[in-house]
Amino acid sequence: MEEALVPDPLLQVEGIHTHIGKHHILQGVSFEVFPGEVTVLLGRNGAGKTTTLRSIMGLLPPSRGRILFKNRAIQNMKPFEIARLGIGFVPEDRGLFNFLTVEENFRVAMLQKNGDTEERMEFILDVFPDLKKFWKSKAGILSGGQKQMLAIARPLVNRNELLLIDEPSKGLAPIIIEHLIEAIHRLKEHAMIILVEQNFYMASKLGNDFHLFDDGRTVHKGQMEKLVRNEELKKKYLGISG
Residues that bind another protein (CB under 8 A): 57, 59, 78-80, 83-84, 89, 91, 95, 97-100, 104-105, 107-109, 111, 154-155, 158
The smaller minimum CB distance to another protein, of residues 111 and 125, is found at 111
Q: Using an 8 Å Cβ cutoff, are 32 and 13 in contact?
A: yes
Minimum gap (Å) between residue 71 Cβ and another protein: 21
List the one residue out of 198, 193, 100, 211 whose CA is nearest residue 150.
100
The smaller minimum CB distance to another protein, of residues 9 and 91, is found at 91
Minimum gap (Å) between residue 201 Cβ and another protein: 28
Q: Using an 8 Å Cβ cutoff, are 47 and 213 in contact?
A: yes
- Phi, psi torsion values for 72, nearest 5 degrees: -120, 130
Minimum gap (Å) between residue 111 Cβ and another protein: 5
Within 7-86, where are the H helices?
Answer: 49-56, 79-84
Minimum gap (Å) between residue 229 Cβ and another protein: 37
Minimum gap (Å) between residue 185 Cβ and another protein: 24
The smaller minimum CB distance to another protein, of residues 111 and 121, is found at 111
The smaller minimum CB distance to another protein, of residues 23 and 229, is found at 23
Task: Return the amino acid letter for 128.
Answer: F
Q: Using an 8 Å Cβ cutoff, are 189 and 163 in contact?
A: no
The smaller minimum CB distance to another protein, of residues 33 and 82, is found at 82
Q: Using an 8 Å Cβ cutoff, are 205 and 181 in contact?
A: yes
